[in-house]
Structure 1
Amino acid sequence: MATATNPSAALTRRSVLTLGASSLLLGACGQEPPGDPGSAAPDGPELLIGASLELTGRGAALGVLQERALRITVDQLDADGVRVGDHRRRVRVDVRDNTGDAQVAGRHAAEFAAREDVCAMLGGTLAETSAALAETAQQQRIPFLSLGSGDGIVQPTAERTYVYKLTPDAHDVARRLAELVRDQGLRQVALLASDGLHGRSGRQAMRAALRAADVGLSRTGALPATGLDVAAAVRRLTADADRPDGVVVWAGSPDASSAARELRRSGYDGPLFFDATAVTEETVDSRNVTTMEGAYVVHPACLDESTLTNTTTAALARRDFVFRYIEQHGAFSGFAPYASDAVRLVADAAGLARSADRGRLRAFLEQQVTEGIAGAYAFSPERHGGMERDSLGVYTVSRGDWTRVS
Structure 2
Amino acid sequence: MSPIRSVTTAALASVVLATTLTGCQLGEEPQDTSPIVIGADLELSGAQAPVGKAYQRALELKRDQLNASGALGGRKVELRIKDNRSDAAESQRNIGDFGNDSSVSAIIMGGCNECAVASVRTINEKKVPTIALAPSGAITNPVAERPYVFKLAPNAADSASALASELVRRGVKKAALLHSDDDYGREGQTALSAEFAKANIKLVAAQAVKGTDTDVSQPVQALVDRKPTAMVLWTPPEQAMLAATAATEAKFKGSLYFDAAAAGELFLGSSARSAEQATLVFTQTMVIDDVIATTPAKAARRQWFRDYTARFGGYHGFSSFAADAVQLIADAELRAGGEPGRVDRDGIRDILETSQMDGLSGPIRMTPDNHSGLMPQALTTLVAQGGRWRLAG
The answer for the alignment partner of 2:246 in structure 1 is: 262
Contact 1:308 1:318 in 2 (8 A): no
Give distance in 2, aligned partners of 1:307 and 1:398. Answer: 13
* Corresponding letter in the other structure for 1:303: M
Kindly indicate whether residue 371 of structure 2 is the aligned counterpart of residue 384 of structure 1. Answer: yes
What RMSD, in angstroms, separates the aligned Cα atoms of the two structures?
A: 2.3
Give distance in 1, aligned partners of 2:140 and 2:326. Answer: 18
Give distance in 2, aligned partners of 1:39 and 1:325. Answer: 31
1:330, CA displacement in angstroms?
1.5
- Structure 1 alignment gaps of length 5 or more: 1-25
Contact 1:238 1:266 in 2 (8 A): yes
Kindly indicate whether residue 253 of structure 2 is the aligned counterpart of residue 253 of structure 1. Answer: no
The structure-2 alpha-carbon separation of the partners of 1:81 and 1:32, relative to structure 1 and needing over 3 Å to count, comes to: closer
Q: Which moved more, 1:305-314 or 1:141-150?
A: 305-314
Give distance in 1, aligned partners of 2:347 and 2:371. Answer: 16
1:349, CA displacement in angstroms?
0.9
Aligned residues: 372
Contact 2:362 2:378 in 1 (8 A): yes
- Give the counterpart of 2:33 among 25, 31, 44: 44
Residue by residue over 1:120-158, the C-alpha shift from the partner in whole angstroms, topping out at 9 and shown as x without a partner, is: 000221211222333321221110001001111100011
- Give the counterpart of 1:105 among 91, 116, 124: 91
Residue by residue over 1:1-56, the C-alpha shift from the partner in whole angstroms, topping out at 9 and shown as x without a partner, is: xxxxxxxxxxxxxxxxxxxxxxxxx9xx85859x9775769851111010011112
1:183, CA displacement in angstroms?
0.9
Give distance in 1, aligned partners of 2:192 and 2:12. Answer: 43
The answer for the alignment partner of 2:311 in structure 1 is: 328
Kindly indicate whether residue 34 of structure 2 is the aligned counterpart of residue 58 of structure 1. Answer: no
Give distance in 1, aligned partners of 2:286 and 2:54. Answer: 14
Give distance in 2, aligned partners of 1:149 and 1:137. Answer: 18
The answer for the alignment partner of 1:184 in structure 2 is: 170
1:374, CA displacement in angstroms?
1.2
The answer for the alignment partner of 2:201 in structure 1 is: 215
- Structure 2 alignment gaps of length 5 or more: 22-30
Alignment of structure 1 residues 18-167 onto 2, 5 Å:
44-81=33-70, 83=72, 88-167=74-153
Contact 1:353 1:364 in 2 (8 A): yes
1:336, CA displacement in angstroms?
4.5
Give distance in 1, aligned partners of 2:38 and 2:164. Answer: 38
The answer for the alignment partner of 2:25 in structure 1 is: none
| Structure of higher RCO (CA pairs closer than 8 Å, 6+ residues apart) | 1
Q: Which moved more, 1:52-61 or 1:162-171?
A: 52-61
TM-score normalized with structure 1 length: 0.86
The answer for the alignment partner of 1:275 in structure 2 is: 259
Kindly indicate whether residue 295 of structure 2 is the aligned counterpart of residue 318 of structure 1. Answer: no
1:203, CA displacement in angstroms?
0.9
Give distance in 1, aligned partners of 2:318 and 2:145. Answer: 30
Percent identity over paired residues = 31
Give the match's secondary structure for 2:74.
strand
1:236, CA displacement in angstroms?
2.4
Which segments of structure 1 move beyond 3 Å, counting only runs of 4 or more?
Answer: 29-33, 35-43, 80-83, 306-309, 333-336
